[in-house]
Chain A
Amino acid sequence: MRVSYQWLSEYVDLTGISPQELAERLTASGVAVDGIEVRNQGVSGVVVGQVITCEQHPNADRLHVCEVDAGTGELLTIVCGAPNVAAGQKVPTALPGAVLPGGKIGKAKLRGVESYGMLCSAQEIGLETRLLQKEQTEGLYVLPEDAPIGQDIVPLLGLDDVVLELDLTPNRSDCLSMRGLAYEVAAVFGTELRFDEDVRQPQTSAVNQSQPSVAIALETPQCSRYEAQVLEGLSANASPLWMQMRLMAMGVRPINQIVDITNYVMLEWGQPLHAFDLDQVHEQTIVVRQGRPNETLVTLDGEERQLNEDTVVIADVHRAIGIAGVMGGENSEITSQTRRVVLESAAFDATSVRRTGQRLGLRSEAQQRFEKGIDPKAVRGALFRATQLMIELCDGQTVGSYVAAASGQTQPAQHIVFSPSRCNQLLGTSIEEKTMLDIFQRLGFSVEAADGTWDVVVPTRRPDLAIEADLVEEVGRLYGLDSIPSTLPSGATTVGVRNVRQKLVKRTRDILIGTGLTEVFTYTLTHPSQLDDLRIPDASPYRQMIPLQRPMSEERTVLRTHMLPGLAQVAHYNLAHGVAGGEVFEIGRVYWPDSLPLTAQPCERTQWAGLWFGQTEASVGKRARKYDFYDAKGVVEAWLDAMGWTALAEFRPIALSWLHPRRSAEVVLNGERIGTFGELHPFTADKLDIGNSLYAEFDLDLLEKYVSERWRVEKLPRFPASRRDLAVVVAKDLSVQSLLDEAKRISEATSKILESSKVFDVYTGSGIPEGQKSVAVALTYRSDERTLTDEEVSELESAIVQDWTAKFGAQLRSH
Chain B
Amino acid sequence: MEEQLRGLREEALSSLEKVEQNRLLDDWRVQYLGKKSPLTQVSRQMGALAAEDRPVLGGLVNQVRDELQRAFEQAKNQLEERAMEARFAAESVDVTLPGRPRRRGAMHPLTRIIQEIEDVFLGMGFEIAEGPEIETDRYNFEMLNVPKDHPARDMQDTFYLTDELLLRTQTSPMQVRTMERMWPEVPVKVIVPGRVYRRDEDDATHSHAFNQIEGLVVDEGIRMSDLKGTLEAFAKAVFGPHQAVRLRPSFFPFTEPSAEVDVRCIACDGAGCRICKHTGWIEILGAGMVHPKVLDGAGYDSTRYSGFAFGMGPERIAMLKYGIEDIRQLYQNDLRLLRQFSRIL
The verdict on A582 contacting chain B, using a C-beta distance below 8 Å, is: yes
Known: A579-B336, A604-B132. A472 touches B257 (CB 8 A): yes
A759 within 8 A of B: no
A485-B225, A514-B105, A523-B331 known; A469 vs B219 contact (CB < 8 Å): no
Contact of A470 with B232 in the complex, beta carbons under 8 Å: no
Q: In chain A between 475 and 491, which residues have their CB closer than 8 angstroms to a CB of chain B?
A: 476-477, 481-482, 484-491
B124 touches A426 (CB 8 A): no
Contact with B along A544-563 (1 / 0, CB 8 A): 00111110100010010000
* Given A170-B154, A524-B195, A549-B162, CB of A487 within 8 Å of CB of B225: yes
Do A486 and B132 have beta carbons less than 8 Å apart?
no
Q: Tell me if B179 counts as interface (CB < 8 A to partner A).
A: no
Chain A nearest CB from B279 CB (Å) reads 10
The CA of A599 and the CA of B155, in the complex, are separated in Å by 27
Q: In the assembly, what is the distance between CA of A355 and CA of B257, in Å?
A: 28
| A738 interface residue (CB < 8 Å to B) | no
**Contact between A489 and B219, CB atoms less than 8 A apart:** yes
Task: Name the segment of A583-591, A676-684, A691-699 touching the other chain.
Answer: A583-591
Which of A473, A496, A520, A597 gathers most chain B CB within 10 Å? A496
Interface membership of chain A positions 507-541, coded 1 if the CB is closer than 8 angstroms to chain B and 0 otherwise: 00100111111111111110000000000000000
Cβ-defined partner of B134 (8 Å) among A27, A512, A547, A602? A602
- Interface presence of A428 (CB below 8 A): yes
**Is there contact, CB below 8 Å, between B187 and A518?**
no
User: B119-151 toward A: CB 8 Å interface, digit per residue (1/0)?
Assistant: 001111111101011111000000000000111
B149 and A583: CB pair below 8 A? no
A521 and B257 form a contact (CB under 8 A): no
B223: which of A29, A426, A496, A497 is its contact (CB, 8 Å)? A426
Contact residue range for chain B? 35 or more
Q: Which of A493, A515, A519, A552 has the most CB of B within 10 A?
A: A519
| Contact, CB under 8 Å: A556 / B208 | yes
Q: Could you tell me the distance in whole angstroms from the C-beta of B233 to the nearest C-beta in chain A?
A: 7
Q: What are the residues of chain B within 8 A of A523 when measuring CB–CB?
A: 208-209, 331
B144 CB to closest chain A CB (Å) equals 14
A599 to B130, CA, bound (A): 22
Complex partner residue of B251 from A172, A550, A584, A589, CB under 8 angstroms: A172
Q: Which of A382-390, A570-578, A714-722 contacts B (4 or more CB under 8 A)?
A: A570-578
* Complex Cα gap A620–B339 (Å): 21
Residues of B near A602 (CB, < 8 A) are 134
Q: Closest chain A residue to B163 by CB distance?
A: A549
- For chain B, residues 186 to 219, give those with C-beta under 8 angstroms from any C-beta of chain A: 186-187, 189, 195, 197, 199, 201, 208-209, 217, 219
Q: Is A724's beta carbon under 8 Å from chain B?
A: no
Q: Which residues of B contact A482 (CB under 8 A)?
A: 246-247
23 contacts between A and B (CB under 8 A): A30-B249, A426-B289, A428-B228, A429-B225, A469-B256, A472-B289, A473-B256, A476-B249, A484-B247, A485-B225, A485-B229, A488-B233, A489-B219, A491-B222, A502-B130, A518-B338, A521-B108, A522-B331, A574-B333, A579-B334, A589-B133, A604-B133, A620-B97
CA distance A492 to B186 in the complex (A): 8
Pick the contact of B108: A496, A520, A599 (CB < 8 A).
A520
Most chain B Cβ neighbours within 10 Å, of A494, A499, A585, A598: A494
Q: Cβ of B291 < 8 Å from any Cβ of A?
A: yes
- Given A477-B257, A549-B160; A491-B247 close (CB under 8 Å): no
Partner among A469, A477, A509, A583 whose Cβ is within 8 Å of the Cβ of B249: A477
The reply to whether the CB of B23 lies closer than 8 angstroms to some CB of chain A is no
Nearest-neighbour CB distance to chain A for B205, whole angstroms, equals 15
Check if A484 sits within 8 Å of B155, measured CB to CB.
no
A496 partner, pick from B126, B256, B338, beta carbons under 8 A: B126
Across the interface, name the chain B residue whose C-beta is closest to A616.
Answer: B103
A-B CB contacts (within 8 Å), total count:
248
CA distance A277 to B277 in the complex (A): 49
Q: Does A467 contact B (CB under 8 A)?
A: yes
Size range of the chain A interface in the assembly? 35 or more
Q: Is A638 an interface residue (CB 8 A)?
A: no
Contact with A along B306-340 (1 / 0, CB 8 A): 10000000000000000000000011111110110
A425 to B230, CA, bound (A): 17
Q: Which residues of A contact B291 (CB under 8 A)?
A: 469
**Among the listed A170, A577, A601, which residue makes an inter-chain contact with B334, where contact means beta carbons less than 8 Å apart?**
A577
Interface residues of A in 597-627 (CB under 8 A from B): 597-602, 604, 617, 619-620
Assuming the contacts A476-B249, A495-B125, asked whether A513 and B224 have C-beta atoms less than 8 A apart, the reply is no
The complex places the Cα of A372 from the Cα of B246 at a distance, in Å, of 29
**Contact A472 to B256, CB < 8 A, known contacts A372-B151, A502-B128, A506-B115:** yes
Which A residues fall within an 8 A CB radius of B?
A: 27-30, 32, 169-172, 350-351, 354-355, 371-372, 425-429, 467, 469-470, 472-473, 476-477, 481-482, 484-499, 502, 506, 509, 512-525, 546-550, 552, 556, 559, 570, 573-574, 577, 579, 582-585, 589, 591, 597-602, 604, 617, 619-620
Can you add 7 more A-B contacts, CB < 8 Å, to A481-B248, A549-B161? A29-B249, A170-B155, A172-B251, A473-B256, A488-B230, A514-B104, A601-B135
Q: How far is the CA of A485 from the CA of B224 in the complex (A)?
A: 9
Indicate if the CB atoms of A170 and B127 lie closer than 8 Å: no
B101 in the interface (beta carbon within 8 A) = yes
* Residues of B close to A355: CB separation below 8 A: 149
Interfacial chain B residues near A506, Cβ < 8 Å: 115
Contacting pair B103 A620 (CB below 8 A)? no
B250 to chain A, nearest CB (A): 6
Q: Distance (Å) between the CB of B226 and the closest chain A CB?
A: 5
The docked-state distance in angstroms from the alpha carbon of A469 to that of B106 is 46
Q: Is the CB of B224 within 8 A of A520?
A: no
Select one of A350, A372, A518 contacting B106, CB under 8 A.
Answer: A518
Docked-complex contact A519 and B289, CB < 8 angstroms = no
B151, B160, B220, B338: the one within 8 Å of A520 (CB)? B338
B256–A519 CB distance below 8 A: no
Q: Are A518 and B105 neighbours in the complex by a CB distance under 8 Å? A: yes
Verify A516–B334 contact, CB threshold 8 A. no
Interface contact A552-B232, CB-CB below 8 Å: no
Q: Which residues of B contact A549 (CB under 8 A)?
A: 159-162
A170, B233: Cα distance in complex, Å: 31
Could you say which residues of chain A place their CB within 8 Å of the CB of B152?
Answer: 170-171
The distance in angstroms between the C-alpha atoms of A487 and B217, with both chains bound, is 14
Residues in A whose Cβ lies below 8 Å from that of B229? 485-488
The answer on a CB contact under 8 Å between A522 and B333 is yes
* Smallest CB separation, A210 vs chain B (Å): 44
User: A30-B249, A473-B249, A546-B134 given as contacts; is B335 within 8 A of A584 (CB)?
Assistant: yes
Contacts of A521 in B (CB 8 A): 108, 110-111, 330-331, 333
Nearest residue (CB) in A for B124 is A496
| Bound CA span A518–B111, Å | 12
Residue of chain B at shortest CB distance from A546 = B161
Asked if A604 contacts B105 (CB within 8 A), the reply is no
| A-side contacts of B107, CB under 8 Å | 509, 513, 519
Residues of A within 8 A of B128 (CB): 496, 498-499, 502
Closest 5 CB pairs of A and B: A428-B225, A30-B249, A428-B223, A169-B251, A473-B257
B344 to chain A, nearest CB (A): 9
Query: Does chain A have a CB within 8 A of B280?
Result: no
State the Cβ distance, B43 to closest chain A Cβ, in Å: 57
A486-B229, A601-B136 known; A425-B221 Cβ under 8 A: yes
B105 and A516 within 8 A (CB): yes
Decide: A371 near B151, CB < 8 A? Known: A473-B257, A521-B330, A549-B162: yes
A427–B221 alpha-carbon span in the complex (Å)? 10
How many whole Å from B290's CB to the nearest CB in chain A? 9
